[in-house]
Amino acid sequence: MYRQAIKHYLHTHGHQHIHLKSVLFDMDGVLFDSMPNHANAWHKAMKAHNLDLSFEEAYLHEGRTGADTINIIYKRQLNREASPEEIETMYHDKTVEFNKYPLAERMPGTKDLL
């Protein structure tokens, strides 16, 4: 699967071959399927603070910073931005919740790719 993607990239950009010295990967959602755990943790942390963020909506905020996600919900539901202290508390609570879950599974094909 990835070999075809590399060949396509090289052809599209007019390259014959590629000489990589290193490759960097983001882990969450690239090497490991951790998004279900993140979505559940966001949902539970928000609910504990009387805010509504559904599991499904949490996916829409994938890739945002924690502060951005928190501020979007605060603005929509409380008509204001969260204070730095509220952001710190919420993100801490989300992290504590996230750490309760088992380790995320590897994404399909990850072992072969690496």
Summarised one tens digit per residue, pLDDT across range 88-101 is: 999 999 999 999 99
Whether residue 10 contacts residue 81, with contact meaning beta carbons closer than 8 Å, is answered with no
Q: Can you list the residues of the chain whose pLDDT is less than 70? A: 1
Annotation: CATH topology of 35-98: DNA polymerase; domain 1 (1.10.150)
pLDDT at 38: 95
**Separation CA 59–CA 34 (nearest Å):** 11
pLDDT at 44: 98
pLDDT tens-digit map of 5-15: 888 888 899 88
Where in the chain are the domains? 35-98
Whole-prediction pTM:
0.76
